[in-house]
Chains A and B, each alone.
Chain A
């Protein structure tokens, strides 16, 4: 499964869930594949997707909040795992697309091979195929969290030029905030 297939599989299953998309290719791909008002595209502040998602989840318990980030983002802010584990937001689903490289900058290797199980998430699963990703997404969208899905990406696809998010940062925030309150 490459990351485009993973993002397609994940976003196909969404309705009103709030999604915090990490900077780089994940925001750009998600924007291209399925732009939604419920998507917050974090274009800078690498590492912060999980913290922003935690802040939203704690203050909007009636909505499911999804953190969609890569292994590079997670490694930059590993401390958010015990923060989420200790605060136990039941409405949080944390998805990490693990391709073991910094794909946005030209595939330099990360050290993500040590990521497996995280502290005190109530549900942790690793998936490698689209079928399993679909099954685990359906399960974690329905059930109490915090849940963690590690999605292994084998990105053999050639790097196609992918556009940037065309909304301005302020527009991204404004429409995301209106989606939160719907």
Chain B
């Protein structure tokens, strides 16, 4: 498993320089690391749509932002993604933890666990999945996609890939 601080380093080395989000246990250590670092800013948001809004403002002021959240938060920020980011072409990388994957999780995660990727397909937001071997490649590719296409992009992170 990749250490969260190394995961953070890959994000920063690839060019991302502004972070905000709402915690999930899968990204708990990552958020702690980003908060403790002096070279980047992590803004704790009250809701996932507020995180998307702050990230959008940060982009317009010159940053390339990352939003961290659990897949439960996708529903919360769907209106911001569709009526702000997609139509204004304001990009951000969303790292979304995939709770409820293959039905193995607490009951509150099961519906979003089996539908979160289809939800993104429906509204037209591209998404990819992290695995143990593609972390660096996927993050570097995401930076290129986000900055060139000027659209939000989701990278799903399941349990057991970073620690």
- B79-A46 in contact (CB<8A): yes
- B61-A51 in contact (CB<8A): no
Contacts of B53 in A (CB 8 A): 45, 47-48, 50-52, 54-55, 77, 80
Interface positions, chain B 41-66, Cβ under 8 Å from A, are 41, 43-47, 49-63, 65
State whether A57 and B90 are in contact (beta carbons under 8 Å apart), knowing that A42-B84, A77-B50 are contacts in the complex.
no
Interface positions, chain A 50-64, Cβ under 8 Å from B, are 50-60
- B46-A55 in contact (CB<8A): no
Nearest chain B CB to A139's CB is how many angstroms away?
A: 25
Sample of 29 A–B contacts (CB below 8 Å): A20-B57, A42-B84, A43-B83, A43-B87, A45-B80, A47-B49, A48-B49, A48-B84, A51-B52, A51-B54, A54-B54, A54-B57, A55-B55, A55-B57, A56-B60, A57-B57, A58-B41, A58-B57, A58-B58, A58-B61, A59-B62, A77-B50, A79-B45, A80-B50, A82-B46, A83-B46, A83-B54, A173-B88, A176-B60
Q: Which residues of A contact B (CB under 8 A)?
A: 20, 40, 42-48, 50-60, 77, 79-80, 82-83, 87, 169-170, 172-173, 176-177, 180-181
- B88-A55 in contact (CB<8A): no
> In whole angstroms, how far apart are the Cα atoms of A172 and B46 in the complex?
27
> In whole angstroms, how far apart are the Cα atoms of A58 and B44 in the complex?
13
- B83-A45 in contact (CB<8A): yes
Contacts of B62 in A (CB 8 A): 59-60, 180-181
Interface positions, chain B 66-111, Cβ under 8 Å from A, are 79-80, 82-84, 87-90
Nearest chain B CB to A180's CB is how many angstroms away?
A: 6
Nearest chain A CB to B122's CB is how many angstroms away?
A: 17
- B57-A44 in contact (CB<8A): no
Report the interface size for chain B: residues with CB under 8 A from the other chain: 33
> In whole angstroms, how far apart are the Cα atoms of A42 and B49 in the complex?
14
Contact for A52 among B45, B47, B56, CB less than 8 A: B56
Closest 3 CB pairs of A and B: A55-B57, A44-B83, A51-B53
B156 within 8 Å of A (CB atoms):
no
Contacts of B41 in A (CB 8 A): 58
Contact for B87 among A60, A169, A181, CB less than 8 A: A169
